[in-house]
Amino acid sequence: MSQKTPDGKMFTLDIPQREAKDGYLLSIFTSHLNLESVLKSPEFSQEPIRVYYLALSRISLITSKKHQDEIYQELENKIQEMENDYKKSHNLQKLTEAQQNHILIVASIKTMGKVSIWADKHMGISIENKVGFERRQRKDESGDIES
């Protein structure tokens, strides 16, 4: 998350302090562990909507309102798209509750991956943050370029 300065040449490095970044990543990791618990729980088959709620919760961890809204919309679009594709490929007019639940779970889990991608992209978890420097030539008193 860098921005050009008004002159368009320099960049600010507004990466969160180490403790803030680690705390944020711990929140995402804890959310992932919660998902694992829900998927393993015996009550899961009776309440698959919990995965959807976890997806909404994980999306809410995104610190950019713009990206948050985009991913919320992607989740809804993914559910609708998967429902339409399933009906079309199986020649159905209406999905059963089990089919709807399956689509809700798969779409939610796929969308939760987008949060990890966002965190990686914007916080540099598995990528390197590169900083470039502009070399400016100086002229000495006579007007010649110094090396």
pLDDT of residue 144: 72
Per-residue pLDDT of the chain (147 residues; tens, 9 = 90+): 455 556 666 555 555 444 566 676 777 777 777 888 888 888 877 888 989 998 998 899 888 899 999 999 999 999 999 999 999 999 999 999 999 999 999 999 999 988 888 877 776 665 555 556 566 666 777 777 665
> What is the distance between the alpha carbons of residues 114 and 74, in angstroms, rounded to a whole number?
9
Tell me whether residue 98 is in a domain. yes
The number of helix segments (H) and strand segments (E) in the chain equals 4, 2
pLDDT of residue 27: 76
Report how many domains make up the chain.
Answer: 1
- For residue 86, count CB atoms less than 10 angstroms from its CB and return exposed for 0-12, middle for 13-18, buried for 19 or more: middle
Tell me whether residue 130 is in a domain. no
CA separation (Å) from 104 to 53, 56, 86, 97, 98?
Answer: 10, 12, 12, 10, 10
Tell me whether residue 46 is in a domain. yes
Query: What range defines the domain where residue 105 resides?
Result: 16-123
pLDDT of residue 59: 93
pLDDT of residue 99: 96
Tell me whether residue 132 is in a domain. no
Tell me whether residue 86 is in a domain. yes
Tell me whether residue 138 is in a domain. no
pLDDT of residue 14: 53
Supply 141's token pair.
Answer: 């008193």
Q: What is the pTM of this model?
A: 0.65
